[in-house]
Amino acid sequence: MRSLNRCSKRRAVWLALALTAFALELVALCFQHIMLLKPCVLCIYQRCALYGIMASGLVGAISPATPLRFAGLIIWLYSAWKGLMLAMQYTDIQLHPSLLVTCDFCISFPTWLPLDKWMPLIFSTNGDCIVHQRRFLSMEMPRWMILIFIAYLVLAILILLSQFFPSRKRDFFSL
């Protein structure tokens, strides 16, 4: 735990967090614009959760040895939790299709942040949640996203817990 505490105070670790979320965003955009898969509302909301994780990495990288890393950690925890809930909802819709339980027909961003209007190539939706579009290693994308968000969430919880185990100062002159 002490080593995780030390890692949480390094800028490279926070930038690696942001980089992994950015790489997943690039994969999603390749699926959308190169493979021509149509994202649904829940796909876009999961992308927003990944953008939150990316933002948390950038916030934590600003000054990781100061309490500012706690702001990054809070954003990271919330985004990973919200992304996990969205991925589980999406998986449930696909596993148990029903006329009563569907995803929204249109995306609903706040009026002060209409991302679908500002950046339609990234945030516009034209897919249906019930449609099974692509499998990779016998699992569909919503299930992969569950695993990805679980990994982010477990790592964030471990980093949070490690904050209660202060790193020891190294004294090279004592035995």
The label of the residue with tokens 């919880």 reads: 157
pTM: 0.80
Query: 84, 146 in Cβ contact below 8 A?
Result: yes
Q: Which domains does the chain have, with CATH numbers?
A: 2-109+120-162 (1.20.1550.10)
Cite the active site residues: 40, 43, 47, 103, 129
- Yes or no: say if 7 and 167 are a contact pair by the CB < 8 Å rule: no
Residue pLDDT tens, the chain, 175 long: 667 666 677 788 889 999 999 999 998 888 888 888 888 888 888 999 999 999 999 998 888 778 888 889 999 999 999 999 999 888 888 777 666 666 666 777 778 877 777 877 777 777 666 666 666 566 677 888 899 999 999 999 988 888 777 766 654 554 4
pLDDT at residue 68, rounded to an integer = 84
Rounded-to-integer distance, Cα 140 and Cα 93, Å: 13
Residue 175 is predicted with a pLDDT of 47
- Name the β-bridge partners of 135: 140
Whether the CB-CB separation of 21 and 53 falls below 8 Å is answered with yes
Among the listed residues 154, 173, 6, 25, the one whose alpha carbon sits nearest the alpha carbon of residue 80: 154
The C-alpha atoms of residue 136 and residue 145 are separated, in whole angstroms, by: 12
Q: What is the pLDDT of residue 95?
A: 76
Structure confidence at residue 104 (pLDDT): 67
